[in-house]
Amino acid sequence: MTRTLARTPAADGFRMPGEFERHAGCWMLWPERPDNWRDAARPAQLAFAQVALSIGQFEPVTVGVSALNFTSARTLLPENVRLVELAHDDCWMRDVGPTCVVNDRGVVRGVDWHFNAWGGLNGGLYFPWDQDELVARKVLEIERLARYRAPIINEGGAIHVDGQGTALVTEECLLNPNRNPRLDRAAIEKNLRAYLGVSQVIWLGKGVFNDETDGHIDELACFARPGVVCLTWCDKRRDPQYAISHDAWERLRDARDARGRRLKVVRLPMPGPLYMHAREAHGLITREGTKARTAGERLAGSYANFYIANGGIVMPLLDARTDSLAARRLKRVFPGRRVVGVPAREILLGGGNIHCITQQIPAARRGSGARAQSL
Ligand code: KQY
State the catalytic residues.
Answer: 356
- β-pairing, 61-65 vs 264-268, is unpaired
Beta bridge partners of 343: 317
Handedness of CA 203, 204, 206, 208 (dihedral sign): negative
Q: Is the pLDDT of residue 372 over 80?
A: no
Bridge partners (DSSP) of residue 268 are 232
Exposed / middle / buried, residue 365 (Cβ in 10 Å: 0-12, 13-18, 19+): middle
Task: Give the model confidence (pLDDT) of 44-100 as tens digits.
Answer: 999 999 999 999 999 999 999 999 999 999 999 999 999 999 999 999 999 999 999
Question: Does the structure show a pLDDT above 60 at 369?
Answer: no
Name the nearest CA neighbour of 87 among 104, 70, 62.
70
Asked whether residue 368 carries a pLDDT value surpassing 80, the answer given is no
Which of the listed residues 168, 179, 213 should we mutate to test ligand 1's pocket, taking the one with most ligand atoms within 8 A of CB? 213
Q: How far apart are CA 355 and CA 48, in angstroms?
A: 12
Beta strands 23-29 and 61-65 are parallel
With CA atoms as reference, report the closest residue to 342 among 58, 36, 10: 58
- Specify the 3-state DSSP secondary structure of 103: coil
How many residues can be counted in the chain? 375
Atom number, ligand 1, closest to the C-alpha of residue 157: 1
Following DSSP, what letter does each residue of 199-215 receive, concatenated?
Answer: SEEEEES--STT-TTTS
Quote the CA–CA distance of 96 and 88 in Å, as a whole number.
9
266 pLDDT higher than 60: yes
CA distance 264 to 267: 10
Greater confidence (323 vs 373) lies with 323
State residue 2's pLDDT score. Answer: 85
| pLDDT per residue as tens digits for the range 97-113 | 999 999 999 999 999 99
Please tell me the predicted confidence (pLDDT) of residue 67.
98
pLDDT in tens, 290-334: 999 999 999 999 999 999 999 999 999 999 999 999 999 999 999
| Span of 22-26, 315-319, 364-368 with lowest mean pLDDT | 364-368
Write the DSSP string, 225-267: ETTEEEEE----TTSHHHHHHHHHHHHHHH---TTSPPPEEEE
Instruction: Work out which ligand 1 atom sits closest to the CA atom of 350.
Output: 9
Whole-number Å distance, alpha carbon 158 to ligand 1 midpoint, is 9
CB atoms within 10 A of CB 240: 14
Given ligand 1 and candidates 155, 169, 206, 307, which is best to mutate, with the most ligand atoms within 8 Å of its CB?
A: 155
Q: Is the pLDDT of residue 371 over 90?
A: no
In the chain, the amino acid numbered 291 is K
Which string of DSSP letters, residue by residue, matches 133-155? HHHHHHHHHHHT--EEEEEEE--
Q: Are the beta carbons of 108 and 371 closer than 8 angstroms?
A: yes
C-alpha 356 – ligand 1 centre gap (Å):
5
Rounded Cα distance between 12 and 23, Å, is 21
Q: Kindly calculate the radius of gyration of the chain based on its CA atoms and give it in whole angstroms.
A: 19
- State yes or no: pLDDT of 375 exceeds 70: no
Tell me the pLDDT tens digit for each residue of 169-224.
Answer: 999 999 999 999 999 999 999 999 999 999 999 999 999 999 999 999 999 999 99
User: For residue 265, is pLDDT > 50?
Assistant: yes
Query: What single letter denotes the amino acid at residue 178?
Result: N
Helices (H) and strands (E) in the chain, counts: 11, 19
Residues 6+ apart with CB under 8 A from 327: 315, 339, 341
For position 1, what pLDDT does the model report?
83
Determine what percent of the chain falls in helix, strand and coil, rounding each to the nearest 5: 25, 25, 50
Find the distance separating the first CA and the last CA of the chain, reported in whole Å. 9
Q: Which residue owns the Cα nearest ligand 1 atom 6? A: 352
If pLDDT is split at 50, 70 and 90, which confidence band does 373 have?
A: very low
User: Percent of the chain scored above 90 by pLDDT?
Assistant: 97
Does 160 contact ligand 1 (Cβ within 6 A)?
no
Q: Is the pLDDT reported for residue 263 higher than 90?
A: yes
Q: Confidence class of residue 366 from pLDDT cuts 50, 70 and 90? A: low
Q: What average pLDDT does this structure show over 11-22?
A: 98
Classify residue 249 by burial, with Cβ atoms within 10 Å: 0-12, 13-18, 19+: middle
Please state whether beta strands 61-65 and 81-85 pair in parallel, antiparallel, or not at all (unpaired): parallel
Q: What is the mean pLDDT of residues 355-375?
A: 73
Average pLDDT value over all residues in the chain:
96
